[in-house]
Amino acid sequence: MDLYLAPLAEITSKEFRVLCYQGGADICYSEMISAKAVTLKNRKTILLAQIEESEQKTYLQFFGGDPDTMKEAVTIILEKVKPYGIDINAGCPVRKVVAQKAGSALMDDPVQLGKIVKAVRSVTDLPLSVKIRKGFKTPNYLNCAMEVQDMGADMLIVHPRLRTEMFMGVSDHTVSIELANIMKIPVIHSGDVKTPADLDKFRDSNIKGIMIGRGALGAPWVFDVLKGNKVSDERKKQMMTEHFRYYLNIKDVKFGHTMFRRHASWYSTGLRGSSEFRNMIFSPKTDIETAKSRTMEFFGVDL
Ligand SMILES: Cc1cc2nc3c(=O)[nH]c(=O)nc-3n(C[C@H](O)[C@H](O)[C@H](O)COP(=O)(O)O)c2cc1C
């Protein structure tokens, strides 16, 4: 079973993906990219589609509710970058996205979802995946999955929660297993896999891959752990050092410092003193120099 890094808005940047490949990920997904913003030539959005040379198999994920806009956005990006594949987001629960009849709103409109798949399919032969939810307010995954397959997608990713469930509770992995039993295209499960025991639920199923989202936060090495490979503390320190240094030195200083604090907090999860560390790192009273020196002390790294 291949292990995938899930698309996570503002998180699965090219730098984070490179770390996840180093940590054992087989395939990575970009954060979602607004098709509309790409067609309006928004510079920041277009930068989200950048891919590092060392990235082996990265899918770029697009969201939008209009087939022509999606098609145009994918065409614009493919003139600039060469991803391994393209993904269509039919799962985002965020109000701003749903208001555009995109993301999880498409779960209530399989025909429109199919039109989007067909439109994107018409402009690329690259592997094309679609990431769905269980439904919007009520389950509609069977209709959506069949439409996606009929319109030419190569792979289906299932995050089996309703939109109304947002990220609450535990996702219903039986939905992914059910779909994997009936679909012709490969089915990937996304939701609540963090430990080898979580993976065991899928061992005897037809699921072809597992996506890890929140389990990779503060642990880009989670893929190696899930594969049964030992990851030394030295290796972990090396990876987090690279990550911290990147955010402390990027051009967009404000964004870099925010992301440094967020990732430092995630890396502290489960370590002794992590709640005090988190309070300190997010306190408005903690300036960046203090945050940096306390992070060096806490993790024993050199920044
Ligand atoms: C902070 C955050 C950002 C997310 N951003 C996206 C996104 O851009 N595109 C997408 O398809 N799913 C997104 N998701 C959903 C995840 O890809 C994944 O399906 C979900 O978190 C369940 O997997 P997990 O339990 O492994 O995190 C996001 C989830 C979180 C928590």
What SS3 string covers the chain?
CEEEECCCCCCCCHHHHHHHHHCCCCEEEEEEEEHHHHHCCCHHHHHHCCCCCCCCCEEEEEECCCHHHHHHHHHHHHCCCCCCEEEEEECCCCHHHHCCCCHHHHHHCHHHHHHHHHHHHCCCCCCEEEEEEEECCCECHHHHHHHHHHCCCCEEEEEEEEHHHCCCCCCCHHHHHHHHHHCCCCEEEECCCCCHHHHHCCCCCCCCEEEECHHHCCCCCHHHHHCCCCCCHHHHHHHHHHHHHHHHHCCCHHHHHHHHHHHHHHHHCCCCCHHHHHHHHHCCCCCHHHHHHHHHHHHCCCC
List, for residues 80-100, the tens digit of each pLDDT value.
999 999 999 999 999 999 999
pLDDT in the model for residue 195: 95
pLDDT in the model for residue 168: 87
pLDDT in the model for residue 174: 97
Residue having the nearest C-alpha atom to atom 12 of ligand 1: 7
Residue having the nearest C-alpha atom to atom 28 of ligand 1: 8
Q: What is the Å distance from ligand 1's center to 159 Cα?
A: 8
pLDDT in the model for residue 169: 84
pLDDT in the model for residue 142: 98
Instruction: pLDDT band for 175, please (50, 70, 90 cuts).
Output: very high
Residue having the nearest C-alpha atom to atom 30 of ligand 1: 8
Q: Is 100 exposed, middle or buried (CB count within 10 Å of its CB: 0-12, 13-18, 19+)?
A: middle
Q: Is 83 left (phi over 0), alpha (psi -120 to 50) or beta?
A: beta
Residue having the nearest C-alpha atom to atom 26 of ligand 1: 213
Q: Which of 158, 190, 258 to mutate to test the pocket of ligand 1 (most atoms within 8 A of CB)?
A: 190
Q: Which of 162, 167, 189, 202 to mutate to test the pocket of ligand 1 (most atoms within 8 A of CB)?
A: 167
Q: Is the per-residue pLDDT at 235 higher than 90?
A: yes
pLDDT in the model for residue 181: 98
CB contact set of 3 (below 8 Å; sequence gap of 6+): 24, 25, 26, 27, 209, 210, 211, 212, 223, 226, 227
Q: Is the per-residue pLDDT at 258 higher than 90?
A: yes
Q: Is 151 exposed, middle or buried (CB count within 10 Å of its CB: 0-12, 13-18, 19+)?
A: buried
Q: What is the Å distance from ligand 1's center to 252 Cα?
A: 24
Q: What is the Å distance from ligand 1's center to 60 Cα?
A: 14
**Pocket residues: Cβ below 6 A from ligand 1:** 6-9, 31-32, 61, 89, 91-92, 131, 159, 167, 190-193, 212-215
Q: What is the Å distance from ligand 1's center to 213 Cα?
A: 6
